[in-house]
Amino acid sequence: MRILLSTAAIAAATVFNVPIVLAQGTPQTVQLVKVDVVKVSTGYRASKVLGASVVNEAGDTVGKIDEIIVGSDGQAPFVVLSVGGFLGVGDKLVVLPYEQMRTDGKKIMLPGATKDSLKALPEFKYAS
């Protein structure tokens, strides 16, 4: 196998006394997928969603988004909701698949949810 290194890379490695290490073993591949960048750009950024109120279809606030977690399989995102508290006191964290959420452009909705139904879910605790 023949690998070409740039002159600059070799010079930098020599000057800073850094050994040049070449990967061995099974070659790695990355599968690239075309993404509709316009569609993605109109989505919801996690930094903007965190702390947002979640309402049911009647417009009642049923919780706030505490965190978004990508599943360990790297596929399914989950949303951690803070429910039942007042000004952060006495709240409970619950977790739901993000796909249960709906948006209408400005609001994040959880159809069929009530404060009581969310409080009845098992409590979520972050792994340490």
Q: Which residue has the higher pLDDT, 85 or 61?
A: 61
Q: pLDDT by residue (tens digit) across 22-68?
A: 666 777 778 888 888 888 887 778 888 899 999 999 999 999 999 99
**How many domains does the chain contain in total?**
1
Percent of the chain surpassing pLDDT 90: 35
Residue 15 falls inside a structural domain: no
Residue 13 falls inside a structural domain: no
Residue 66 falls inside a structural domain: yes
Q: Which residue has the higher pLDDT, 101 or 12?
A: 101
Helix (H) or strand (E) segment spanning residue 78: strand 77-83
Residue 4 falls inside a structural domain: no
The CATH number of whichever domain residue 68 belongs to comes to: 2.30.30.240
pLDDT number for residue 76: 82
| Beta pairing class for 108-109 and 53-55 | parallel
Residue 97's domain comprises 45-119
Residue 87 falls inside a structural domain: yes
Instruction: Please give the average per-residue pLDDT across 2-26, as a whole number.
Output: 55
Question: Which of the four pLDDT bands, split at 50, 70 and 90, describes residue 93?
Answer: very high
Instruction: Assess contact for 118 and 87: CB atoms under 8 A.
Output: no
pLDDT number for residue 18: 56
Residue 50 falls inside a structural domain: yes
Give alpha helix (H) positions in the chain: 7-15, 37-41, 46-49, 115-119
pLDDT number for residue 106: 81
CA nearest neighbour of 93 among 59, 57, 118, 110: 118
Report the alpha-carbon distance of residue 85 to residue 29 in Å, rounded.
48
Report the alpha-carbon distance of residue 92 to residue 122 in Å, rounded.
9
